Amino acid sequence: MPKIVRFYSIGGPENLKLEEAPTRPPGQDEVKLRVQAVGLNRAESGFMRGRYFETPELPSSIGYEAAGVVEAVGPGVDSSWVGKSVATVPGYSMSKYGVLGEEAIVPAYSLGEYPAKLSPVEAAAVWMQYLTAYGALVTYGGLKRGDFVLITAASSSVGLAAIQIVNAEGAVSIAATRKSNKRAELLSLGAAHAIATEEEDVVQKVNEITDGTGARLIFDPIAGPGVEKLAETAAFHGIFFVYGSLSQQPTPFPRTAFGKGLSMRAYSLMELRREPEVLKTAKQYVFDRLADGRFHPKIAKTFPLAQSVEAYQYLESNEQVGKVVITV
């Protein structure tokens, strides 16, 4: 029987259990994957703690981003998928379709092919990060050449993807991270500027960088009371995207927004998934730039499946720059 990771109670990574589970054939509109690698996301940390869009149905599987090979397809699925290397696009139920294990059943609509030049580990670090950043910045933010873009939690996989997209569009990336120990690496990974928010005045620094114009786009997964200060960095008629709630605190509507005509909106990859043609365009955009080398996933560290607990603990440590990946 294949080994999978599940949890039986709400809590942290220590609740994850590696165990055997009966295999099953894919059902209607489903496929079976032989999993090779799984990329980890903060979404799963929130999910296992009961703080995500979806409430776990216990015992629950976990995992959003798998790279693997299609072994079988269910009714209603094109048989040409069999044998193809794919990576899953998040946006389905983790309780039903969690991918952390040796094999996974996933909905066929979640499949995305990736360039052959990528390894399975790299492929497991593609869709969540690039599509999340693309949807906010390009699809809904209208990113254009010369824009200043403030990216918080910039050392995360989504933050690094945002830097690459901003650079590709000829805009100016301003990476924000809590401490200066990640500054040099962020700059080496393409950030035009880097600000250590616990050591520097973020408003002053953004004003200096933008010559007083401010950031037209703000891309933030933290939320909470810190949005007040971030809003002060915004340009007139800027857009403030909140795509997470890592602070786990109430998020006020910034008073500064009134004087700036600032738009503040919630965003997640699920929004992009609701528009199939928009999602198709986004996937092609990312695929093409991965294929020609303009985009490249940054892997922070890999762990074997047997060390899933340690992998999620490392993810939650905030020590990493880039994607944490479990190999299978």
What contacts 149, CB < 8 A, 6 or more positions away? Answer: 137, 143, 162, 166, 171, 172, 173, 174, 215, 216, 217, 218, 219
Q: Each residue of 197-246: pLDDT tens digit? A: 999 999 999 999 999 999 999 999 999 999 999 999 999 999 999 999 99
Amino acid at 59: P
**At 304, which helix (H) or strand (E)?**
strand 299-304
Instruction: Considering only residues 77 and 273, tell me which one the structure prediction assigns the higher pLDDT.
Output: 77
Percent of the chain with pLDDT over 90: 98
Does pLDDT of 53 surpass 90?
no
Single-letter amino acid code for the residue at 127: W
Count of beta carbons in the 10 Å neighbourhood of residue 268: 19
Q: In this predicted model, what pLDDT tens digit does every residue of 166-186 receive, in sequence order?
A: 999 999 999 999 999 999 999
Which amino acid is residue 254, in one-letter code? P
Q: Pick from 266, 204, 259: which is nearest to 237 by CA?
A: 259
Distance CA(270)–CA(93), nearest Å, equals: 12
Closest by Cα among 161, 215, 216 to 189: 161
237-264 pLDDT, tens digit per residue, is 999 999 999 999 999 999 999 999 999 9
Q: Nearest to residue 239, comparing CAs of 272, 263, 215? A: 263
Out of 3.40.50.720, 3.90.1300.10, 3.90.79.10, 3.30.70.141, the CATH code matching 128-271 is 3.40.50.720
Q: Are 269 and 110 in contact (CB under 8 A)?
A: no
The CA distances from residue 165 to 112, 136, 192, 283, in Å, are 19, 11, 12, 13
Q: What is the mean pLDDT of residues 253-277?
A: 94
| Domain chopping of the chain, boundaries | 3-126+299-327, 128-271
**pLDDT tens by residue, 120-157:** 999 999 999 999 999 999 999 999 999 999 999 999 99
- CA dihedral for 212, 216, 219, 224, sign (positive or negative): positive
CATH class of 3-126+299-327: alpha beta
Please say if the pLDDT value at position 108 is more than 90.
yes
Is residue 63 within 8 A of residue 92, CB to CB? The reply is: no
Residue 283 pLDDT exceeds 90? yes
Mean pLDDT of the chain: 96
Q: What residue type is 157 in one-letter code?
A: S
Residues 6+ apart with CB under 8 A from 189: 160, 163, 298, 321
